[in-house]
Amino acid sequence: MIHLVFGDGRTAPYVVTESLRFQALQPNSVYSAFVSLANGAQIGAADLFAEVYDRPGALILQTCIQADGLSTWGRLFVVAQPLVESRARPRAGTPPL
């Protein structure tokens, strides 16, 4: 669970639904291709950007993965979706389930 806090004090709860890990083939290049640590598939920078960030309403957190002495060895993306709580209440006189 992530609670996003806005500048005006409002909060919005999010539930982490996915984490994605990739190794950068050229760690210091913003145009590097990447390899998925989940399945070994290779993906270009533009396609990775579209795959990760083209999720309307989602909260995406990104950081680097340090390995082999390189702070930019890979990327970690944490994907969270807004928590939608059910506000349904039984009608008066309805027996509980």
Distance CA 70, CA 64 (A): 10
Mean pLDDT of 37-63: 96
Confidence (pLDDT) at 93: 53
Contact 32, 24 (CB under 8 A): yes
Distance CA 94, CA 37 (A): 51
Distance CA 20, CA 18 (A): 7
Residue with tokens 């993965």: 65
3-state secondary structure (DSSP) of residue 94:
coil
Confidence (pLDDT) at 81: 96
- The structural domains of the chain, with segments of one domain joined by +, span 10-82
Q: Is 97's pLDDT higher than 60?
A: no
Confidence (pLDDT) at 84: 83
